[in-house]
Structure 1
Amino acid sequence: MTPATIPEMVLAAADRFGDAEAVVDGPTRLGFGDLATRVRVAAGAFASAGVGRGDRVAIWAPNSVEWIVAAFGLLTAGGVLVPVNTRFRAEEAADVVVRGGARLLLVRGGFLGRDYPAPPGVRVVDLGSGFLDDGRPFERAVRPDDVADIVFTSGTTGRPKGVLMDHAQTLRKYGSWGDLVGLREGDRYLVVSPFFHTFGYKAGCVASLLKGCTILPVPVFDVDRVLELVETERVTVLPGPPAVYHGLLAAPGDRTTRGGRDVSSLRVAATGAADIPADLVRRMRADLPFTSITTAYGLTEAGTVTASRPGDAFEDVAGTVGAPCDGMEVRLAADGEILVRGYSVMRGYLDDPAATAEAIGPDGWLRTGDLGAFDAAGRLLVKGRKKDMFLVGGFNAYPAEIEGFLMEHPAVAEAAVVGVPDARLGQVGVAFVVARAPVTVAGLLAWSRERMAGYKVPRDVVFLPELPRNAAGKVTKDVLRDAARPA
């Protein structure tokens, strides 16, 4: 039976899986029973620090066993978790901590060579200080409909907004997600997605405790380190964004050996984005040992919304983001915007009823800001952000689609397309490309004309050493638009 709250989940995992490894982080190896004990002690430390039911605590720290103990300990004390992006600068973090109403800020000093200061009036605690081990075992009653966390959006369309989710939503969603991707008891799950993100914390830590998987946290993605852990820890599950799999495929080797490491244990891959190249999925299947590859669509405000299913044809896994998950409805507005309704749609934005009302209609449909279409079988195709679409001579041009074409070129590692004003056509596309091999502007445009309708072909290509990204790792297209416009 699914636990009713996240603290119940931690205790239930201890009962079900006992001494099996729950977390492996360097020399630290905790069984599920050990983890539950440390979580209850941490809960006592939070209670002694004055954290009461509904009080908020921020964690601004990398993936680690301490992050896991702190997060679940806080929830066991009745608190509300506010994860903070480790790539944020001090001002960005202070904005999230202050608007999140955090009473405490937990940090790991020195990560990425930086200090992690607290804003005025907020107590800062270093995760290496022993704070988590200073409490007496404790737990406070928590209800399934209590808010469990406030995860802030990436802020690509303005200041980040805090998304409210409760315990019941989280447990149902990520128990279901574990079933979809095929998690098994005893799986060894390398979590490369950051814990400050839903994909790392919930699809990683929560799903692992629900299914009895070992969590192996990775603080910074490094291909060599990941390959080493896959070999030495016999990793079976490795979800992540497309960049993770590009990195694995770039390491020399064959289907079972990469970078001189044995990767034959890998079984489960799961990824999601509007711009997953079909060729990447093909190469993952042909050149890596994964037997289960899931593509999905989700957002902070609703978690995973659609996903491919075991047995789906390769073309469907590579070309769509699957069908709606159990308990979720998806439809398209008149302009093609993806609308979502179901149990996992957020409770609302923190202290922002106007933004909440703008995002969620009175009938419960969440406006995602993404554009999409359905194939004949009802699987969703994501065309990109609504704000990124541009009109070329009256034709809709979708950057994600064009980027997908460009990344099929063997010399193109990454691509981002934006629309810019044009006196004759209204708008035209400009492509920003990171090359993996020599290629010219003329050569890439000629190649594109053979594969795309004329209005989709970019009018110019700009080569960059890397694409500009925000602290959440998303490409900042506003920066590219500014760079593409003539002075």
Structure 2
Amino acid sequence: MLGLPSRPTTLPALLRDAAERFGEHPAYVDGATVTSYAELLVRVETAAAAYVARGLEPGRAVAVWAPNSTEWAVAALAVTYAGGVLVPLNSRYTAHEVADVLTRTDAAIAVVADGFLGRTQIADLAGLGTTTQLVDLADLADDGTTPDHLAEARQRADAATPDDVADVLFTSGTTGRSKGAMSAHRQTIGVAQAWAELGGVRAEDRYLVVNPFFHSFGYKIGIVVGLLTGATLFPVATFDVDQTMRTIQDQRITLLPGAPTIYQSLLAAPSRSDVDLSSLRLAVTGAAVVPVVLIERMRAASPDGLGIDQVVTAFGMTEAVVVTMCREGDSAETVATTNGRAIPGMEIRIDGAASPTDEGELLVRGEHVMLGYLDDPEATAAAIDADGWLHTGDVGTLDEAGNLRITDRLKDMYISGGFNVYPAEVEQVLLRLDGVDDVAVVGSPDERLGEVGTAYVVGSATAQDVVAFARQRLANFKVPRHVTHVDALPRNLSGKVLKTQLRSS
């Protein structure tokens, strides 16, 4: 790597290394609770011993279903410390969605923030008949572990290897069936190190983590970046613009990566002029089209802008986390209209392009591309060819400097508020509603969220019925915001819905 010295290539060893290097330096500030790197190791070892006491065997999956918090980080890091495989779950998922993932991963334990957003997660899962052991996040370490359990956890941490599977993060495909992207310890650490180097992250940085820990960006580019650099993380459970601005001011936050909607919310906040945001030095955004004027305003000094010293965009996906990234010194035009150049350890090309600037499917290859999809060799073979190129399904171009510009998607996926939404999954759910004879979902432009779902429905179900049914079974960001009734969906001769016609209607 270019900037940071070589670090351990397993997560348990990296955690121990961070505790030794950074000691009493704050690792997490969560409300009034401050946890140092030395304390973080103690807490993780205690939680790892609790997993052992609860019967976790090496190689078994442990799911974490909770919002951002220090406790999330402890629970997650303890999984690999105890020899398990981490499966982060979207905190907005319904119990039905979580139960499906628990079954497919054969999860031994699910750690749950019961009561988050006023819900009854454990009761809901129990009601679905899950056989996975359910543990309230607040009670994880309160189970009377013994010194033998702690000794066993430490032995498992010692036994971890760089090529062991560390985590499985779920994405989806155009078929609507979610797929679990597997990463090894060396990959989870390697991509975090590349990102940290390009951002110049250091121990003095104070990192407000708005990106969810269950997402690869919050987990790998948040928690793992902290272990590598000694930066202090401030977890955000739910985004509130006024609270976020107060935290930036009061805690002198320096790092604020996030979706474009985060910065648009800050710029539009009526109370922005009442707070001091001048401590911000690095913002990394992407996941949606970024207007040039947004980058300019993010960089502009107050009162017109946010005054962020370094603003860059990046391109990534669950299967590779971070693929490309802009660099310090790139123009606002480059940052806003491209996703930057390939990061160290990765290479990109445009499939079938006769010249570098031709449009085609983006292919990705390198150290950080996933090991494959969990228990799905056919999907893995379809995604990664014999030469190791990951076929992203995104259409783009490369300029002469190697900057990537995404121009379209081969897949129907759209991005709402920074989260990928796969229409086929939503359609499968809606087709179970009485009164929906046929349905197609497409992404529609939205000023605040980038894109939101529009459901084109054939049948007698009302728009209210469609939305209510979806809310019961899908995370909020997947629920269509608009419902349009049509007599029939446009299809080609093979029966495929012509979604291009729907988007332009």
Answer yes or no: same fold by TM over 0.5.
Answer: yes
Within the candidate set 360, 370, 387, 1:363 is matched to: 387
Q: Which is worse superposed, 269-278 or 50-59?
A: 269-278
- Structure 1 counterpart of 2:30, one-letter code: D
Q: Which residue of 1 aligns with 2:161?
A: 143
Shift in Å, 1:154: 4.8
DSSP-derived class of the 1:372 partner = strand
Within the candidate set 469, 475, 481, 1:471 is matched to: 475
The alpha-carbon distance between structure 1 residues 9 and 486, as it changes in their structure 2 partners (threshold 3 A), is closer
Q: Is the 8 A contact 1:74 1:80 kept in 2?
A: yes
Q: Which residue of 2 aligns with 1:423?
A: none
The alpha-carbon distance between structure 1 residues 157 and 113, as it changes in their structure 2 partners (threshold 3 A), is farther
Within the candidate set 266, 281, 288, 1:267 is matched to: 281
TM-score w.r.t. length of structure 2:
0.77
CA distance in 2, matches of 1:105, 1:293: 37
CA distance in 2, matches of 1:300, 1:357: 17
Shift in Å, 1:433: 4.9
DSSP-derived class of the 2:278 partner = coil
Within the candidate set 351, 362, 367, 1:338 is matched to: 362
Q: Is the 8 A contact 2:259 2:285 kept in 1?
A: yes
Shift in Å, 1:294: 1.6
Q: Which residue of 2 aligns with 1:458?
A: none
- Structure 2 counterpart of 1:383, one-letter code: T
Give the 5 Å matches for 1:76-475.
76-117=81-122, 118=125, 119-131=129-141, 134-135=144-145, 136=147, 137=150, 138-139=153-154, 140=156, 141-154=159-172, 158-252=176-270, 258=272, 260-286=274-300, 287-334=305-352, 336-388=360-412, 432-434=444-446, 471=475, 473=477
- Structure 2 counterpart of 1:101, one-letter code: D
The alpha-carbon distance between structure 1 residues 233 and 35, as it changes in their structure 2 partners (threshold 3 A), is same
CA distance in 2, matches of 1:70, 1:224: 29
Q: Which is worse superposed, 347-356 or 315-324?
A: 315-324
Shift in Å, 1:477: 10
DSSP-derived class of the 2:378 partner = helix
CA distance in 1, matches of 2:120, 2:77: 24
The alpha-carbon distance between structure 1 residues 321 and 435, as it changes in their structure 2 partners (threshold 3 A), is closer
Q: Which is worse superposed, 173-182 or 130-139?
A: 130-139
Q: Is the 8 A contact 1:198 1:303 kept in 2?
A: yes
Q: Is the 8 A contact 2:444 2:503 kept in 1?
A: no
Shift in Å, 1:431: 8.9
The alpha-carbon distance between structure 1 residues 474 and 91, as it changes in their structure 2 partners (threshold 3 A), is closer
Shift in Å, 1:13: 0.6
1:40 and 2:45 equivalent? yes
DSSP-derived class of the 2:335 partner = helix
CA distance in 1, matches of 2:103, 2:443: 38
The alpha-carbon distance between structure 1 residues 154 and 261, as it changes in their structure 2 partners (threshold 3 A), is farther
Q: Is the 8 A contact 1:58 1:83 kept in 2?
A: yes
The alpha-carbon distance between structure 1 residues 433 and 79, as it changes in their structure 2 partners (threshold 3 A), is closer
DSSP-derived class of the 2:322 partner = strand
CA distance in 2, matches of 1:31, 1:145: 29
Identity rate of aligned residues, in percent?
49
The alpha-carbon distance between structure 1 residues 108 and 431, as it changes in their structure 2 partners (threshold 3 A), is closer
Shift in Å, 1:377: 1.4
Within the candidate set 62, 66, 69, 2:67 is matched to: 62
The alpha-carbon distance between structure 1 residues 150 and 67, as it changes in their structure 2 partners (threshold 3 A), is same
Q: Which residue of 2 aligns with 1:2?
A: 7
The alpha-carbon distance between structure 1 residues 122 and 299, as it changes in their structure 2 partners (threshold 3 A), is same
Q: What do the CA deviations read for 1:67-102 (whole angstroms, capped 9, x no partner)?
A: 111111111101100111111111111111111110
Shift in Å, 1:313: 2.1
Shift in Å, 1:260: 2.1
DSSP-derived class of the 1:230 partner = helix
Q: Is the 8 A contact 1:331 1:339 kept in 2?
A: yes
Stretches of structure 1 that go unaligned for 5 or more consecutive residues are: 390-398, 404-415, 419-429, 437-465
- Structure 2 counterpart of 1:321, one-letter code: N
The alpha-carbon distance between structure 1 residues 312 and 81, as it changes in their structure 2 partners (threshold 3 A), is same
Aligned residue pairs total 418
CA distance in 2, matches of 1:321, 1:379: 6
Q: Which is worse superposed, 300-309 or 181-190?
A: 181-190
Q: What do the CA deviations read for 1:306-329 (whole angstroms, capped 9, x no partner)?
A: 000112222211211001111111
Q: Is the 8 A contact 1:274 1:383 kept in 2?
A: no
Q: Which residue of 1 aligns with 2:436?
A: none
The alpha-carbon distance between structure 1 residues 169 and 323, as it changes in their structure 2 partners (threshold 3 A), is same
Alpha-carbon RMSD: 2.9
CA distance in 1, matches of 2:87, 2:273: 37
The alpha-carbon distance between structure 1 residues 380 and 130, as it changes in their structure 2 partners (threshold 3 A), is closer
Q: Is the 8 A contact 1:264 1:289 kept in 2?
A: yes
Q: Which is worse superposed, 170-179 or 329-338?
A: 329-338
- Structure 2 counterpart of 1:128, one-letter code: A
- Structure 1 counterpart of 2:98, one-letter code: A
TM-score w.r.t. length of structure 1:
0.80
Q: Is the 8 A contact 2:169 2:318 kept in 1?
A: yes
Q: Which residue of 1 aligns with 2:461?
A: none
- Structure 2 counterpart of 1:381, one-letter code: R
CA distance in 2, matches of 1:24, 1:13: 16
Shift in Å, 1:132: 5.9
The alpha-carbon distance between structure 1 residues 245 and 134, as it changes in their structure 2 partners (threshold 3 A), is farther
- Structure 2 counterpart of 1:362, one-letter code: A
Q: Is the 8 A contact 1:125 1:131 kept in 2?
A: no
Q: What do the CA deviations read for 1:113-166 (whole angstroms, capped 9, x no partner)?
A: 111133521111001125367544432120110000000015565121000001
The alpha-carbon distance between structure 1 residues 162 and 433, as it changes in their structure 2 partners (threshold 3 A), is closer
DSSP-derived class of the 1:34 partner = helix
Q: Is the 8 A contact 2:260 2:288 kept in 1?
A: no
Q: Is the 8 A contact 1:165 1:346 kept in 2?
A: yes
CA distance in 2, matches of 1:434, 1:305: 26
